[in-house]
């Protein structure tokens, strides 16, 4: 579970409701005025409708998976993979049989596949091209999920504005005297006009746009890890000394985490 995401949502929601409470108390108003099912329906329903138009069904099916990835989170630390690469490099210098026997101890599937290619006799260029292609298409797949979240963040305020227009129409109809809704319709229209925009802004800025940003950060971190593993696989293929492997892979991690003897 990504604690930062949970803390951010709690702090954001707390700030919003705290601000509403303080303002409502000072004005002698009722906080329940900020609860509107019709406004929620316009924003959330419209947002889902826009997603359905913008994306094919297979991509829409990945929405909850993308959200779960954001909440699952977790920091990808590269330094443990430097240690593992050094260990595999030491095994690889003993011979192909020893390297093949050590494949089962590699937990990361990307790195395991790379070492398997070394054992199977792939050339340096071939395994590099294959692994880099995997990175490219993984990024394409994951960015489509990030685009889902970003689109929701973009559409939410837009549907909030549509709700505002609906509320204004109802409000203006309230000026119609006997044929209009009178002051009740005027109040309902003003409420819908303002609260729908409020809901759209909250959905966008507290949930979906930050989620899209975090998902993109995760894509970058995963690509950095896999770039490190490609370099490690190349060095093992060349049967470089573990000290050389260590020094080259240190370039991928912060200096304070560099591996020393």
Q: How confident is the model at residue 181 (pLDDT cuts 50, 70, 90)?
A: low
- What is the model's pLDDT at position 191? 67
Exposure letters 210-249 (e unless 16+ CB within 10 A, then b): bbbebbbebbeebeebbebbbbbbbbbbeebebeebbebb
- What is the model's pLDDT at position 261? 66
- What is the model's pLDDT at position 259? 77
Give the global pTM.
0.84
- pLDDT of 184 above 70: no
- pLDDT of 185 above 60: no
Sign, CA dihedral 117-123-128-133, equals: negative
**Domain segments of the chain as ranges:** 1-35, 36-261
- What is the model's pLDDT at position 177? 54
- What is the model's pLDDT at position 154? 93
- pLDDT of 178 above 60: no
- pLDDT of 60 above 60: yes
Tokens of 66: 């993308």
- What is the model's pLDDT at position 15? 93
- What is the model's pLDDT at position 247? 93
- What is the model's pLDDT at position 28? 79
- Reference 232, options 138, 139, 131; nearest CA is 131
Q: What is the pLDDT of residues 97-154, one digit of tens each?
A: 999 999 999 999 999 999 999 999 999 999 999 999 999 999 999 999 999 999 999 9
Half-sphere exposure of residue 208: CA atoms within 13 angstroms, side-chain side: 24
Q: What is the pLDDT of residues 66-92, one digit of tens each?
A: 888 888 866 788 999 999 999 999 999
What is the C-alpha to C-alpha distance for residues 167 and 164, in angstroms, rounded to an integer? 5
- What is the model's pLDDT at position 193? 74
Q: What is the pLDDT of residues 189-236, one digit of tens each?
A: 666 678 889 999 999 999 999 999 999 999 999 999 999 999 999 999
Q: What is the pLDDT of residues 2-55, one digit of tens each?
A: 788 899 999 999 999 999 889 888 877 777 778 888 888 999 999 999 999 999
């Amino acid at each position: 579970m990504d604690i930062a995401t949970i803390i951010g949502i709690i702090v954001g929601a707390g700030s919003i409701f705290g601000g509403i409470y303080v303002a409502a108390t000072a004005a002698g108003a009722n906080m329940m005025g900020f609860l509107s099912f019709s406004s929620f329906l316009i924003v959330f329903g419209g947002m889902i409708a826009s997603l359905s138009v913008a994306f094919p069904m297979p991509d829409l099916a990945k929405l909850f998976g993308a959200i779960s990835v954001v909440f699952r989170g977790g920091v990808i630390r590269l330094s443990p993979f430097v240690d593992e690469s050094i260990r595999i490099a030491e095994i690889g210098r003993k011979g192909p049989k020893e390297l093949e026997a050590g494949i089962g101890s590699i937990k990361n599937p990307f790195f395991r596949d790379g070492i398997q290619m070394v054992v199977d006799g792939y050339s340096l260029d071939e395994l590099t091209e294959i692994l880099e292609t995997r990175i490219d298409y993984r990024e394409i797949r994951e960015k489509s999920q990030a685009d889902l979240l970003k689109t929701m963040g973009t559409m939410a305020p837009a549907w909030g504005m549509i709700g505002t227009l609906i509320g204004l129409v109802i409000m203006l109809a309230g000026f119609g005297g006997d044929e209009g809704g009178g002051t009740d319709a005027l109040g309902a229209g003003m409420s819908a006009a303002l609260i729908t925009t409020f809901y759209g802004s909250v959905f966008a800025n507290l949930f979906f746009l930050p989620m899209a940003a975090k998902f993109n950060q995760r894509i970058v971190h995963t690509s950095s890890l896999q770039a490190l593993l490609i370099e490690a696989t190349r060095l093992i293929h060349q049967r470089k000394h573990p000290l050389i492997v260590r020094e080259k892979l240190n370039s991928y991690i912060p200096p304070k985490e560099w591996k020393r003897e």
